[in-house]
Structures are given as structure tokens and as C-alpha cells.
Amino acid sequence: MAPRIVVAGSANMDLVGLAERLPRPGETVLGDDFLMMPGGKGANQAIAATRAGGHTCFLGAIGSDSFGVSLNAQLNGAGVDMTHVRTTYGVSGVAVIMVDRAGENSILVAPGANNAFTGLTEAEKATIADGDVLLCQQEIPVETVIEAARAARAGGTRFVLNAAPARELPPELLEHVDLLVVNEVEALSITGGDDIDVPALLALVPRVVLTLGGAGSRYADRDGRDEHVPSYRVQVTDTTAAGDAFTAALAVAWGEGRDLVEAVRWANAAGAACVRKVGASNSLPTRAEIDEIYRG
């Protein structure tokens, strides 16, 4: 049976400028192209989890503007359960994204409706408690993530926190985390210092996955496992949403009961499949595409 994945998070309209290189502060660069497409770490992970084989429910807030119409259409079209999604009067979340010709990006998020996703209803909490895995990121108010994490703990649902973008993580959130997914920037923002400190992360949460871009990922836990999982070689077009594809595939694989190192290997394949295409929600791979890379 498909694992039940609940994603409580953001939905943004992504406004994407493509250019030879990213502008420096104060500089204007003439770009190559412009694209507008649905994104947001929460919505991306909900769509990615569905495509990867999960039965996925999205919890969040979307604006009543025209961007909101497109965001709802994209999530519904992908087969995500949208029963509890809130419509908030006003603007949806927006992400202003710049991508260079090497596929690197920089992103500015204006949260809009995402900031109105507060005070979980009993129905939302029950949905989390009924899930196999709760997946959250940090583009919604932290109080909401804490409430969701508590509902997960109460229901015996595993809680995966993708601590992106880097923000302060209060202890009352960390105490509920079963698996923390971070990139190097996010890891350093949690532990401080100049070097990645996995033992310091494991003092906070029982399991950590550190994503290392082209170098793959590292899985470590309090039982003493610490393994590097290499990446797959693919042509990189755009790294946007690669972390979302990775985290969602990891949640699905864990929900299916796979060993976590194997789950990370499969998630690496999802990230690799994602970077081959431009964009966020439209570049998220299907289960067949992930398997194709995974099997080599």
C-alpha cells in the first residue's frame, strides 16, 4: 500500500529569470529568459511525494489571487489530496528566482498567504496523526511547524523536517524531529562554527541526512551509522527543487519501510532526475524516472 505522506508547508508562484550569471548586489544583468511556474518547498514536496508513489495530503494556505488559481490547479492536477488546503484573501506566496547557466540559483521568497497558515484545525491535526510520515520545511510560521510536529508525535507519525531555508530551530521543534534533512549551509546555521559537525546535529535529533550537492549525501544516526551515499552523474540544467525531490523521495521510501541508507540512495536518484530540467514543480520526477537512474 502507498505510504500516507502529509506535507504541511508553503506554496509559491515562482518567477524565474535565467541568465549567464547571477547579478552581484547593485548590479543589473541582461538575462536569457523568464518563466513563471508553481513552486514553494511544501507544494513541491507534496507533488514530488505523489509522483514518487506516496498518497500525499497537502496542508497549507494559498491566496485568493490569480497565482493561487494556478497553484491549486498544479497541485490538484498532480493528484495531491487538497481537502484541507485553506484559501486566504489576498496574495499567494511568491518566489523570485535567478538561475545561471551552470544551473545554480538564488531565491527570495515573499511568503504572502503562507504566513497566514497558523492555528491548525482539529481536522488538520487528525490528518497528520493518520499519516505514516509528516514532512515540513521552514517557509511557514515556525509555530505551525511545532503544532504539526506535536500532532505527529501524538499520532505516532514519523516527522521529517527539511530545515530549508535556514532559520532558527527552537528546542520545542527539534525535540519532535525523527529525521532532519539539511544541506551544508543549513547544517552550519544550526550548529554554528565553520565546519560541518554531525555529532552536534545528532545531539539535537536522532537521525540526520546531510545533502552535499554533486557529492551526494551523508546519513548518520544515534545508533552509530555514518555513511556517505554518492550521487549520480547527470547533466545539470537547474538545481531548483532538487532538495524537494530528494526529501520527498526519502519520506516516501522511509514510509515504505526501506532501510534509511537505501532510502537516501533512492532519494539521490530523485534529486539527480530533477536537476536535468528547468523549474520547480514541473521538474519533479516520477517513480519510474527515479527508478531508472537508481538502477543505472
Active site residues: 244
| CA–CA dist 50, 255 (Å, integer) | 13
Long-range contacts for 77-82 (Cβ within 8 Å, ≥24 apart)? 78/46, 78/47, 78/50, 78/51, 78/281, 79/50, 80/46, 80/47, 80/50, 80/56, 81/55, 81/56, 81/57, 82/58
Report the 10 Å Cβ neighbour count for 137.
26
Is 243 a binding residue for ligand RIB by CB under 6 A? The answer is yes
Complex with ligand RIB: residue 241 or 293, whichever CB lies closer:
241
Which residues are CB-neighbours of 174 under 8 A, at least 6 positions away? 204, 205
Please pick, from the candidates 5, 8, 14, 46, the single residue that binds ligand RIB as defined by CB under 6 A: 14
Antiparallel, parallel or unpaired: β 226-229 and 217-221: antiparallel
Site mask for ligand RIB (CB under 6 A), range 244-263, x = bound: x-------------------
Query: Is residue 95 part of the contact set for ligand RIB (CB under 6 A)?
Result: yes
* Interface segment toward ligand RIB; rule CB under 6 A; list 39-47, 62-70, 229-237, 257-265: 39-47
Q: Work out which of 280, 284, 290, 293 binds ligand RIB, going by CB under 6 A.
A: 280
Following DSSP, what letter does each residue of 186-209 receive, concatenated? HHHHHH-SSS--HHHHHTT-SEEE
Grid coordinates of 90: 489576498
41 binds ligand RIB (CB under 6 A): yes
Say whether residue 12 binds ligand RIB (CB under 6 A): yes
Question: What is the rounded CA–CA span in Å between residue 185 and residue 179?
Answer: 17
Under the binding rule (CB under 6 A), the answer on residue 63 touching ligand RIB is no
| Interaction between residue 107 and ligand RIB (CB under 6 A) | yes
Q: How far is the CB of 120 from ligand RIB (least distance, A)?
A: 21
User: Under the criterion CB under 6 A, does residue 40 sit at the interface with ligand RIB?
Assistant: yes
Dihedral angle at the C-alpha atoms of 223, 226, 231, 237, nearest 10 degrees?
80
Q: Any binding-site annotation on 214?
A: yes
Contact set for ligand RIB, span 135-154 (CB under 6 A): 139
User: Which residue ranges make up the annotated binding site for K(+)?
Assistant: 238, 240, 274, 277, 279, 283
Which parts of this chain interact with ligand RIB (CB under 6 A)? 12, 14, 39-41, 44, 95, 107, 109, 139, 240-241, 243-244, 280
